[in-house]
């Protein structure tokens, strides 16, 4: 387990501003509730798992070899690099996580995610597609144009990092799925398994984790399906075997552990919209000028540096994505 000094937003008084409490506050006693739920979730660590991944750095998360391991590293695409800040150390990106299925503390995912079985891993393509079908993850990855990209990440809680992701463009996945012309949105759903994730027994939480993009956003060059990071298969706590990364949006759009892609002409209600409709919307594009109702989005802390820097519109990716939103002036694009 990583021993570290708590950052400002993790201080107990700031905890009430974190995403995690939106999940809990309406259903638990005030005050004691936050601690109670953190305790209940921590209780899902049965102790037998910790020894496997509890070492310093702790980034080994699986005892069985990954059948795709020999495919890594993927060739880095020089069109997607970050030049204004340094790469964040792998140990930080792999041990400071949000994955609420596994608990609400930042080190809960690395302690608890190891019990998620990720082989076999079936992925379904459903809804407005020429023909619905299922693919095994190991079959899908072999059919995709693999590359590595370095992106900025910006969590709505105001922490940020820079990481090299391995994967393939979401456009390639959309083409593979063959949506019909009337499909406007692609909805992504995470696995459900309360044996692995006791938090999923909380019936008031809208599991499974659900997110969505417009098909136009999914076809944008930046939308990336991630299978690995730092030149290796993705650790489970980072969303193995398959997650989304949309670097111009707040991190909560980046669904981990995806099992279903559903094409539809209806805008989906996402997990965070269901939990906190006044605080989280469908678009969630990064904008330093639009505060979260409970905190400013003007700056961000780059993990591992202790530095707070100004946040950029679209997280610095406006050149690639701003044109997606030109006709949507009336929409809440930045929450
Ligand atoms: N299934 C699932 N996906 C998820 C989350 C989650 O709780 N469950 N958290 C999101 C949030 S809030 C963020 S910031 C990123 C964190 O990704 P990382 O832990 O790899 O940095 O994952 C996103 N994807
Ligand atoms: Mo986040």
The enclosing domain of 250 has a CATH number of 3.90.420.10
CA of 79 to the centre of ligand 2 (A): 25
CA of 289 to the centre of ligand 1 (A): 23
70-103 pLDDT tens trace = 999 999 999 999 999 999 999 999 999 999 999 9
State the pLDDT at residue 50: 35
Let me know if residue 112 belongs to a domain.
yes
State the pLDDT at residue 3: 43
- Tell me the C-alpha to C-alpha distance, in Å, between residue 201 and each of 163, 180, 197, 329: 33, 36, 8, 39
Let me know if residue 120 belongs to a domain.
yes
State the pLDDT at residue 58: 42
State the pLDDT at residue 40: 40
With a cut of 50, list the residues of the chain below it in pLDDT: 1-6, 8-17, 25-61
Let me know if residue 330 belongs to a domain.
no
Let me know if residue 258 belongs to a domain.
yes
Q: Which residues surround ligand 2, an ion (CB under 5 A)?
A: 98, 155, 251-252
Let me know if residue 311 belongs to a domain.
no
Let me know if residue 314 belongs to a domain.
no
Let me know if residue 184 belongs to a domain.
yes
113-151 pLDDT tens trace = 999 999 999 999 999 999 999 999 999 999 999 999 999
- Give the CA count within 13 Å in the CB-facing half-sphere of 306: 3
Tokens encoding 106: 């930042």
Write down the pTM of the prediction. Answer: 0.86
State the pLDDT at residue 65: 82
Q: Which domain, by its residues, includes 45? A: 21-151+164-274
CB under 6 Å to ligand 1: residues?
19, 97-101, 153, 155, 190, 209, 238-239, 251-252, 254-257
Three-state DSSP state, 257: coil
Task: Count structural domains, the chain.
Answer: 1
Burial class (CB within 10 angstroms; exposed 0-12, middle 13-18, buried 19+) of 76: middle
């Amino acid at each position: 387990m990583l021993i570290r000094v708590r950052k400002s937003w993790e201080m107990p008084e700031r905890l009430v501003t974190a995403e995690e409490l939106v999940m809990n506050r309406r259903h638990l006693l005030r005050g004691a509730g936050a601690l109670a739920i953190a305790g209940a979730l921590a209780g899902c660590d049965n102790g037998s798992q910790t020894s496997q991944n509890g070492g310093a750095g702790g980034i080994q998360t699986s005892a069985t070899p990954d059948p795709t391991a020999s495919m890594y590293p993927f060739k880095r695409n020089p069109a997607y690099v970050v030049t204004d800040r340094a790469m964040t150390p792998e140990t930080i990106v792999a041990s400071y996580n949000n994955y609420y299925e596994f608990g609400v503390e930042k080190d809960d995912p690395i302690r608890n995610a190891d019990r998620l079985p990720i082989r076999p891993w079936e992925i379904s393509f459903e809804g407005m597609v020429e023909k619905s079908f299922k693919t095994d993850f190991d079959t899908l990855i072999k059919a995709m144009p693999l590359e590595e990209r370095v992106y900025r990440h910006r969590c709505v809680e105001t922490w940020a990092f820079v990481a090299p992701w391995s994967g393939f463009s979401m456009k390639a996945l959309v083409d593979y799925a063959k949506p019909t012309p009337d499909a406007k949105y692609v909805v992504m759903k995470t696995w459900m398994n309360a044996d692995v994730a006791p938090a999923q027994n909380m019936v008031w939480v809208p599991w499974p984790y659900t997110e969505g993009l417009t098909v136009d956003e999914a076809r944008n060059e930046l939308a990336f399906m991630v299978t690995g990071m730092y030149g290796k298969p993705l650790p489970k706590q980072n969303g193995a075997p398959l997650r989304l990364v949309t670097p111009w949006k707040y991190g909560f759009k980046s669904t981990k552990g995806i099992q279903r892609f559903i094409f539809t002409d209806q805008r989906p209600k996402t997990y965070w919209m269901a939990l906190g409709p006044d605080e989280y919307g469908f678009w969630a594009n990064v904008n330093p000028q639009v505060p979260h109702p409970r905190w400013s989005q003007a700056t961000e802390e780059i993990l591992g540096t202790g530095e707070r820097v100004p946040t950029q519109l679209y997280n610095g990716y406006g050149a690639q994505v701003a044109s997606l939103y030109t006709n949507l002036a009336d929409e809440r694009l930045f929450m």
